[in-house]
Amino acid sequence: MTDGLRAIVGAAHVLTLAGDVSAYLEDWTGQYSAAALAVVRPGSTAEVAEVVKLCNTYGIAIVPQGGRTGLCGGGVPISDQLSIVVSLTRMNAVRSLDVAGRTAVVEAGVVLETLHSTALEHGLIFPLMFGAKGSCTIGGNLSTNAGGSNVVRYGTTRELCLGIEAVMPDGSVINALTGLRKDNTGYDLKDLLIGAEGTLGIITAAVVKLFAAPRAISTAFLSVVSLDAAIEVLNRLQDFTGGGVEAFEYMPQPAVDVICKVFPNTRRPLDGEVGTGILVEVTSSRPQDAEELEDGSIRLEAGVMELLSVLMEEGLVLDAMLAQSVQQRNELWKMRELILEAITASGPAYHLDISLPLAQIAPFVDAMDPAMAHLGLQPLTVGHLGDGNLHYALSAAEGHIWETLPLETAKELVFEKLVALNGSFSAEHGIGQSKLSVMSALKEPAQLAVMRDIKRALDPQNLMNPGKLVPRA
Ligand X SMILES: Cc1cc2nc3c(=O)[nH]c(=O)nc-3n(C[C@H](O)[C@H](O)[C@H](O)COP(=O)(O)OP(=O)(O)OC[C@H]3O[C@@H](n4cnc5c(N)ncnc54)[C@H](O)[C@@H]3O)c2cc1C
**Minimum distance from residue 38 beta carbon to ligand X (Å):** 16
Q: How many residues does the chain have?
A: 473
CA–CA separation, 468 vs 435, rounded Å? 9
**Minimum distance from residue 168 beta carbon to ligand X (Å):** 11
Q: Does 466 bind ligand X (CB under 6 A)?
A: no
Q: How far apart are the first and last CA of the chain?
A: 31
* Residue placing its CB nearer to ligand X in the complex, 194 or 377: 194
Q: Does 190 bind ligand X (CB under 6 A)?
A: no
Is there a contact between 107 and 92 (Cβ–Cβ < 8 Å)? yes
**Minimum distance from residue 174 beta carbon to ligand X (Å):** 13
Distance of CA 307 to the CA centre of its chain: 31
Binding segment toward ligand X, per CB under 6 A, in 65-73, 212-220, 252-260, 449-457: 65-73
Q: Does 131 bind ligand X (CB under 6 A)?
A: yes
Q: Is the dihedral of CA 463, 75, 470, 132 positive or negative?
A: negative
Site track 236-265 with ligand X (rule: CB under 6 A), x = hit: ------------------------------
β 38-40/83-87 pair status: parallel
Among 45, 114, 143, 283, binds ligand X (CB under 6 A): 143
Nearest to 45 by CA among 246, 202, 271: 202
- Mind giving me the DSSP string for 63-80? EEESSS--SSS-SS--TT
- Reduced 3-state DSSP string for 38-59: EEECCCCHHHHHHHHHHHHHHC
Site track 343-362 with ligand X (rule: CB under 6 A), x = hit: --------------------
CA–CA separation, 185 vs 103, rounded Å? 21
Q: Does 165 bind ligand X (CB under 6 A)?
A: no
**Minimum distance from residue 228 beta carbon to ligand X (Å):** 24
Q: How many CA atoms lie within 13 A of 39 on its CB side?
A: 24
Separation in Å, CA 100 to CA 122, 180, 211, 242: 10, 14, 11, 24
Among 42, 77, 169, 198, binds ligand X (CB under 6 A): 198
* Residue placing its CB nearer to ligand X in the complex, 79 or 324: 79
Identify residues 18-57 at the interface with ligand X (CB under 6 A).
Answer: 28
* Residue placing its CB nearer to ligand X in the complex, 146 or 356: 146
Q: Does 14 bind ligand X (CB under 6 A)?
A: no
Among 108, 237, 300, 352, binds ligand X (CB under 6 A): 108
Residue numbers at the binding site for ligand X (CB under 6 A): 28, 63-71, 74-75, 88, 108, 130-132, 136-137, 139-141, 143-144, 146-148, 197-198, 202-203, 340, 428-429, 432, 465, 468
